[in-house]
Structure 1
Amino acid sequence: MRPVTRTFLAVVLAVLVGLLALGALPSYLGAGDPYYLTATPAEADGPAYTLNASEGGIAEQRFRYFFSAVESEDGRSEAYRRGPYGLKEGFTHSPFDEVATFREFAPEGAVDGDAVFVRYNETRYRVTIEHP
């Protein structure tokens, strides 16, 4: 193999490894205090974004912080820590993404300040981001 070809293949391999690292490593990065998505039961009446249980596994993957909060005893999701220099947010899923989705598709009146109301399994939840 010629030296030029060998150098080219080494550069291509290094770029591929770098891109894979950018996709995997940010989820392990975390700095600062944790953020939690909280889901507390609210009054049954009123507008809310409806999350269909029939969506099954797709919804659980898309809204994993919401489901983590709903299934926990204290109504709080697993912790999310922001990455240094804003690198993590571009590559990973966050509770901020979920709340933004709920806000975007929520009917009029389902957003109350920083909170958004979500209906799941016949229960209406008040969903917020908590930063202790």
Structure 2
Amino acid sequence: MRSVTRKFLVGLLLVVVALLALGALPSYLGAGDPYYLTVSPAAADGPAYTLNASEGGIAERRFQYFFAAVGSSDGRSDPYQRGRFGIKEEFTHSPFDEFATFREFAPEGAVDGDAVFVRYNDTRYRVTVEQP
């Protein structure tokens, strides 16, 4: 193998490894106490952002913290730690992203201070992001 070809392949391999590291590394960065997306059943009547179960796996992938919280026994999602320098938030999905989506698309009256109401499978939930 020629020297130029070998250097090109090594350089290409280093670029691929660096790109993979940039994609995976931010999810391992974290500092401070974790944040949780918490859900609690609320009164059935009233406005709420509606998640359609008919969307299949799309909703589960888009709102993974919400579904983790709904499926847990204590109503809390998996923990999320913010990054120190703001890098992690740019490259990873967070409960803040899901909460912002709920707030942005919620109908009039579905937002109550630091909480938003979400309807899923005929149950209305009060959703917040908390740090214990």
Percent identical among aligned pairs is 80
State the match for 1:81 in structure 2. 81
Matched, 1:60 2:57: no
State the match for 1:46 in structure 2. 46
Q: Secondary structure at the match of 1:84?
A: coil
Name the CA distance, whole Å, in 2 between partners of 1:81 and 1:58: 24
Unaligned runs of at least 5 residues, structure 1 = none
State the match for 2:118 in structure 1. 118
Q: State the TM-score, normalizing by the size of structure 1.
A: 0.92
Q: State the TM-score, normalizing by the size of structure 2.
A: 0.92
Matched, 1:12 2:6: no
Unaligned runs of at least 5 residues, structure 2 = none
Q: CA deviation at 1:7?
A: 2.8
RMSD across aligned positions (CA): 1.4
Name the CA distance, whole Å, in 2 between partners of 1:4 and 1:114: 59
Q: Deviations over 1:44-91 (max 9, x none)?
A: 111100001112221111111101111111111111111231121111
